[in-house]
Structures are given as C-alpha cells and as structure tokens.
C-alpha cells in the first residue's frame, strides 16, 4: 500500500489549499481514511477522517467549519479542503488508511496502519 499526500504549500492567513491523498496498489473503497498533522515539537494529531462509504466524517474541534474531507473513489483519492487557514494550522499533513474499521472512522493515530509521506502546510504572512 502506498499513500501519497500532496497539495501543501505556503499560504497567507485566511488562505485555502486542497490536499490530496492518492493511493496506489490498493482500492481506497476498502479503507477509512484519516488526515493527521504534526507541527514541530508536537505530537501527531488527528484532523479529520472519512468512512469507507463517505457517509461519516469527523473533525477535530479546531478545524470544524474550516476543513472539509471528501473522497472520490473513482479517482482513488481522498481530499481535504482547508479554508481560512491560521498560523496554528502550520504542520506536516499526513493521510493514513485503516482497513479494519468497517463502519465509521477515528482520529486516533493507533487506528491507522498505513501511512503516506506528508505534505507541508505553512501559514504565514
């Protein structure tokens, strides 16, 4: 399983990005997908997740109303639209896959067993 996160960059506060998580050698339909982030000196934290069907999504409180997770199974890709970015959103963002959860999804690192390389998001004026 290979996951690749992309779409990060340097943006000003209030800006937007669309992060993508593309998979190779697996079909994402069979996985709940989570987005996580890790800032320097901090633990990796769950940001958002989406169930296999896409019908269930969760967000950590700090991003509710600003971030939107979605999936396009035809493209084997999961997206994270990040709007109204704040300096505290600066981090490396990772996507991860959980093949053992049949219903729902979680924001705990330990629930995910497949991780992609991250993409850097920097919010600065």
- DSSP label of 55: -
- Asked if pLDDT for residue 1 goes beyond 70, the answer is no
Residues 6 or more apart whose Cβ sits within 8 Å of residue 65: none
* Average pLDDT over all residues of the chain: 95
Q: 18-56: b or e for each residue (b if 16 or more CB lie within 10 Å)?
A: ebbbbbeeeebeebbbbbbbeeeeeebebbbbbbbebee
pLDDT digits (tens, 9 = 90+) for 39-57: 999 999 999 999 999 999 9
Residue 64 CA to residue 61 CA, distance in Å, equals 5
N residues, the chain: 125
- DSSP label of 69: E
pLDDT digits (tens, 9 = 90+) for 17-33: 999 999 988 788 899 99
> Is 37 in contact with 44 (CB distance < 8 Å)?
yes
């Amino acid at each position: 399983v290979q996951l690749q996160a992309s779409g990060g960059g340097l943006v000003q506060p209030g800006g937007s990005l669309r992060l993508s998580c593309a998979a190779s050698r697996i079909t994402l339909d069979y996985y709940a997908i989570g987005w996580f982030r890790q800032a320097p000196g901090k633990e990796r934290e769950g940001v958002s997740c989406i169930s296999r069907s896409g019908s269930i999504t969760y967000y950590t409180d700090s991003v509710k109303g600003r971030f939107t997770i979605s999936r396009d199974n035809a493209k084997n890709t999961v997206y994270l639209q990040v709007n109204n970015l704040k300096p505290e959103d600066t981090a490396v963002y990772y996507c991860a896959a959980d093949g053992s959860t049949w219903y729902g999804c979680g924001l705990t690192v330990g629930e995910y067993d497949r991780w992609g390389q991250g993409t850097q998001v920097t919010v600065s004026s």
